[in-house]
Amino acid sequence: MISGSFGEIGELIFEIELIATDGGKFSLDVLLDTGFTTGLLVLDTQDAESLGWDLIERNRTMQMARGEELFDIYQGILVLDQQEYIIPVVASLGIREPLLGLQWLKMLPLAVNFAAGVLTLG
């Protein structure tokens, strides 16, 4: 189980670890976005490329709030709740904030108690 924190307006923020193809590890704060329903992680393309992750699909059309957009899919490695996962990572240029998707909640339980300041995943 990993503990998270609440952002200024109640965002659910967790720290994950990304693993580069050369074995390097990088910690990163990500926002759990329940509106991101079709994936596990979204990053800026530059981040995925800097980690040396393999591109597995180019220009996948995905529905966004503002219409359809094109994204690339990389095979990424991350550590969440002390478990290593190899996952498809959605990437595009201009992603301002890395996001964890709703799909994690199909695998890991989420506990949120704003009053007690408790936020856990896993």
The domains of the chain are located at 10-121
What's the one-letter identity of residue 72? Answer: D
Per-residue pLDDT, 13: 97
Q: What digits encode the pLDDT tens for the residues 43-101?
A: 999 999 999 999 999 998 887 767 788 899 999 999 988 899 999 999 999 899 999 99
Question: Which runs of consecutive H residues, i.e. helices, occur in the chain?
Answer: 45-50
**Eight-class DSSP state of 48:** H
Contact 40, 83 (CB under 8 A): no
CATH fold for domain 10-121? Cathepsin D, subunit A; domain 1 (2.40.70)
Question: Does residue 105 carry a pLDDT above 90?
Answer: yes
